[in-house]
Amino acid sequence: MRILAIVLALTFGAPAFAADAVGDARALRKKHRLEAAERVLEGVLAKDDGNLEALLEMGYLRELERDDKGALKYFGQAARAHPGSLEAQAMAVHAYVWNEDYETALDIAESAFERFGKKSPDKTLWSDLIVGLGGAQGMKADRGGIGAALKYGLGVRQTFERAVAADPEHGRALYALSRYYLQAPGIVGGDPAKGLKMLEKSIRLAPHDSRFQEVLVRELIKAGRKDDATAAYDRYKERFGDIPGAMRAIRDEAAKLQ
């Protein structure tokens, strides 16, 4: 009944309900009631298609569903409509990286650094922006072959270290640095054991992010720790089994555990 009341209020213009709607959608997302959350947000955006909080929340909803193109649609729209929002800029950078458009991600990140760098920004959002920059830099290095990876690898690690320094308890920053340690050659600082430990900490800090836990399963399989990987996969299913997109994302790893 609460969801129906919100949708009706938005349709007929009750401002008090509209002001609370995004918060209600956020609560629904956290309970994995994704269709209900989407209906509420669609109601908000039908009245105001530039509503920043609704666009961001719709982006987070798509991220949880592992719909990278859908996340880009909403985070990108939020960034274009609200250049003064650090959160919108940071999440747009991430979304472009997820969609492998590192050039656009770099452009947005560089503009955001110029705009927000002298304003004492929120430490977590600032860390998020730095993580996105590092992701774009890393993708550019990877696309350039082994020479570029060796040339720019340490710079990418330093970017992720800056993100962790900006907010040491930010799960996304620790996850990004852990991926560097897990994937980089030893000559540029790769350290799988250190990476796994850091990845596990990122999961404790951000247990709602399926990407982190998917990577943990994959890395445990790679390390030959099948029992640990199976236990991690069971935890993944327990947390994300009701989200089809999240289960599709891990199906290759699941097949290796059969």
Domains of the chain: 1-82 (1.25.40.10)
Q: What percent of the chain has pLDDT over 70?
A: 89
* Burial of 187 per CB tally in 10 Å (0-12, 13-18, 19+): exposed
CB 35 within 8 A of CB 242: no
pLDDT at residue 144 in the model: 67
| 18-to-15, 85, 87, 185 alpha-carbon distances in Å | 5, 21, 21, 51
Q: What is the pLDDT of residues 68-78, one digit of tens each?
A: 999 999 999 99
More reliable by pLDDT, 149 or 67: 67
Q: What is the mean pLDDT of the chain?
A: 91
Q: What is the pLDDT of residues 95-144, one digit of tens each?
A: 999 999 999 999 999 999 999 988 878 999 999 999 999 999 999 988 86
Please, how many CA atoms are within 13 Å of residue 131, restricted to the half-sphere of its CB? Answer: 28
pTM for this prediction: 0.89
Residue 22 predicted with pLDDT over 60: yes
For the record, the structure tokens of 218 come out as 């994959």
pLDDT band at 147 (very low <50, low <70, confident <90, very high): low
The SS3 call for residue 94 is: helix
More reliable by pLDDT, 4 or 213: 213
Residue 16 predicted with pLDDT over 50: no
Taking residues 219-233, what's their average pLDDT? 97
Give CA–CA dist 227/242, Å, rounded. Answer: 23
The SS3 call for residue 207 is: coil
Q: What is the pLDDT of residues 183-214, one digit of tens each?
A: 988 887 899 999 999 999 999 999 999 999 99
Cα-only R_g, the chain: 19
